[in-house]
Amino acid sequence: MKNKKTIILVSCISAILVVSVAVMAFIGNKGAGDSVSAAREYLEASMRYDTKGMANTASDKVRQQLYNTGEIPTVRELIKALNKSYDGVPSGYEGRKISFTVVDEYVSGDTGYVKLNVYVDGVKMYTRECATVRIGGRWYYDGEPEVK
């Protein structure tokens, strides 16, 4: 009887570990933990032509816009297309320090609005307004906010 309980316990623990690994693999590095991070990470990735960073923090809407075919690409497909677009084009921000300050943030449910000042090497370059969206508990850059 004790041996049977041990086998069941080990089986349950193994199943939990397998499910945990699968969930972590599915989530991976996609999205961000909060609305501000999603906006910051996407903006910095786009400034540096970091195609993986852009694809991992872009919402489906933004991925579709970047892919420019009317389809929503997978992250891998978008990275490949962006790499082709940026091939041989320098970003202009290599070796430069990019930082952000939050001017404003508003989150309601699964949507957010973030206004950031963007600094390069300590000099303010511009202010950027970003829409964000939460999908599956992770936040993604969703483009510029709609003007009403």
Kindly report the CATH number that applies to the domain delimited by 34-141: 3.10.450
Query: What is the DSSP code string of the chain?
Result: -HHHHHHHHHHHHHHHHHHHHHHHHHHTT-SBSSHHHHHHHHHHHHHHT-HHHHHHHB-HHHHHHHHTSSS---HHHHHHHHHHHHTT---S-TT--EEEEEEEEEEETTEEEEEEEEEETTEEEEEEEEEEEEETTEEEE--SPPP-
User: Which of 16-25, 42-51, 81-90, 136-145 is least confident?
Assistant: 16-25
| Predicted confidence (pLDDT) per residue in 78-100, tens digit | 999 999 999 989 889 989 999 99
Domain limits of the chain? 34-141
pTM for the complete prediction?
0.78
Q: Is the pLDDT of residue 70 over 90?
A: no
**pLDDT range class, residue 16, cuts 50, 70, 90:** low
